[in-house]
Amino acid sequence: MSRFGQRTQVGSAVSDWISKEIISYPITVDYLVVAGGGSGGRCNTGGAGGGGGAGGMRCTVTATGGGGSLESALTLTTSTNYTVTVGGGGATPAAGSAGNIGSGSVFSTITSTGGGGGATQGPDTQPSSGGSGGGATYAPAKTGGAGTSGQGYKGGDATLPVGNNCAAGGGGAGAAGANVASGQNSAGGAGVATSITGSSVTYAGGGGGGNSDQANGAAGGSGGGGAGRGTSSGAAVSGTANLGGGGGGSFASNAAGNGGSGVVILRYPDTLTITIGAGLTGTESAASGGYKRATITAGTGTVSW
């Protein structure tokens, strides 16, 4: 091989190395990762079901869940794939069963835990823990499901004697579910507002408790929590899709509310364009305020810039 050929090969290798270094460089990405909410509890005869807990919420903009310190943005690399999963809400359970736990949501190294299911009475079940915990029922006396530190709060307690025919609210990202008070509705815990999209939106409210003494069940927490059901006929209200709200608790064998699905929102410099891979449903916003935002509402797959 000639000296000229050797130099050409060396020059090509250097050029490839420089190209890769230019293509791949570090970027900073803010995130909101909300898991799916838990469903409310569902009785099989009389009685009331506890509200479902909201999906865990982790965020780097404005505020995060569970009263924790604001999370730090991730330093990532362009031309690299990062996993995203959007958790689904827990489905309404069969009659006589506690609510189902929501599914977790993931972005890269960040995982938010699905919301806990609400308890039910007749037969008695316990609420479950989660990103935020499910609400308890009044017979026998129970404690609400635990939340996850830095993601959400516990479900409400039901410690009054048998005969108090209402159930506690599920926990939210911003507050615990309301405890049972005699004959009163017990609302779901409030969610948390963030401005990662450029405007303030509240996510991850807990589901309201059911009530077998009054016509209407308790309100869901702000941020997509579903209302519980009272003695009026029909199903409890489901948590709002892509807000991660908990589902409302039932009255008797009426259907409890499903948990709301979660969401993953990413904010990054407006000089970048995201690639949302197969298996994910999402959109990228126009540039605003120096950023673009990608909102991913369903699925599992990868993203890259």
- For a pLDDT cut of 90, what percent of the chain falls above it? 77
The conformation of residue 28, written as its DSSP 8-state character, comes to E
Q: Is residue 68 part of a domain?
A: yes
Q: Is residue 1 part of a domain?
A: no
Q: Is residue 18 part of a domain?
A: no
Range of the domain at 127: 31-305
* Number of domains making up the chain: 1
Q: Is residue 3 part of a domain?
A: no
Measured distance CA(123)–CA(19) in Å, rounded: 66
Q: Is the dihedral of CA 181, 38, 149, 69 positive or negative?
A: negative
| Residue 143: per-residue pLDDT | 94
Measured distance CA(227)–CA(239) in Å, rounded: 8
Measured distance CA(203)–CA(300) in Å, rounded: 21
Kindly report each contact of residues 235-240 with a partner whose C-beta sits within 8 Å and lies 24 or more positions away, as own/partner: 235/92, 236/40, 236/49, 236/207, 236/208, 236/210, 237/207, 237/208, 238/39, 238/89, 238/92, 239/37, 239/52, 239/54, 239/89, 239/205, 239/207
Residue ranges for the chain with pLDDT beneath 50: 1-11, 13-20
Q: Is residue 16 part of a domain?
A: no
Measured distance CA(18)–CA(8) in Å, rounded: 15
| Residue 3: per-residue pLDDT | 41
Q: Is residue 129 part of a domain?
A: yes
| Residue 140: per-residue pLDDT | 66
| Residue 164: per-residue pLDDT | 58
Q: Is residue 148 part of a domain?
A: yes
| Residue 5: per-residue pLDDT | 43
| Residue 20: per-residue pLDDT | 47
Q: Is residue 2 part of a domain?
A: no
| Residue 63: per-residue pLDDT | 98
| Residue 22: per-residue pLDDT | 57
Which amino acid appears at position 38 of this protein?
Answer: G
Structure tokens given for 281: 């449903």
